[in-house]
Chain A
Amino acid sequence: DAMVIQNPRYQVTQFGKPVTLSCSQTLNHNVMYWYQQKSSQAPKLLFHYYDKDFNNEADTPDNFQSRRPNTSFCFLDIRSPGLGDAAMYLCATSRYAVGSNIQYFGAGTRLSVL
């Protein structure tokens, strides 16, 4: 019944080795978000897609990229992971509409950088 699915749940990568995290949704929502959450901190928005329109947060490092090939899938690419990129990465979706925008979250991918 999972509606927002993130794979893998745990990812280990090496310093500087590119890594891709994936997110898929069965809700047919037009907005998809990527958040970074470090231990005991609030989720921090990295970027979001409104349909195919990409919206990057001003303080998101260039090291982070994203792709959304279709409505259902969204990917987070970290081109050269550093130790500081170790975190939980959360994907969320919503249906943008006036009076709405409840975000539905996936279970997250915990990234470790060795």
Chain B
Amino acid sequence: AQTVTQSQPEMSVQEAETVTLSCTYDTSESDYYLFWYKQPPSRQMILVIRQEAYKQQNATENRFSVNFQKAAKSFSLKISDSQLGDAAMYFCAYRSANDKIIFGKGTRLHILP
């Protein structure tokens, strides 16, 4: 069975600085998708970025980018120029071949003004 591990329950970063959230996963599948979802307090979960495992190029969405290391089964999220609105719970997620999404336990990100 696939597992997703986020080893940082909470992190803090100064506004305008860069922060990296870690995620590792375990799978025997060769083709899969990885996601980072953001869940702000009392608001709905939204997709931040996704990565197809067959693509070697790291995905980028504006200030958000990933470092995807397939051999190491690592999928970290880098947030550049952190903003107050980035404060949220961030979930790393894996989409399995049977179309289910497995979430990590989340990292709560605090932005310090």
Contact = CB atoms under 8 A, between A and B. Distances in A.
Contacts of A105: 37, 44-46
A31 B99 contact: yes
B33 A40 contact: no
B7 to A, nearest CB: 14
Q: How large is the interface on B (under 10, 10 to 19, 20 to 34, 35 or more residues)?
A: 20 to 34
Contacts of A103: 47, 101
Interface string B98-111: 01110111101000
A106 B43 CA distance: 9
A67 B108 CA distance: 33
Interface residues of A, number: 21
A42 B99 contact: no
B45 A102 contact: no
In the A-B complex, the 7 residue pairs with the smallest Cβ-Cβ separation, listed nearest first, are: A42-B103, A105-B45, A107-B44, A105-B44, A42-B105, A43-B103, A102-B47
Interface of A: 4, 31, 40-43, 45, 48, 50, 90, 92, 96, 99, 101-108
Interface of B: 33, 35, 37, 42-47, 50, 52, 91, 95, 99-101, 103-106, 108
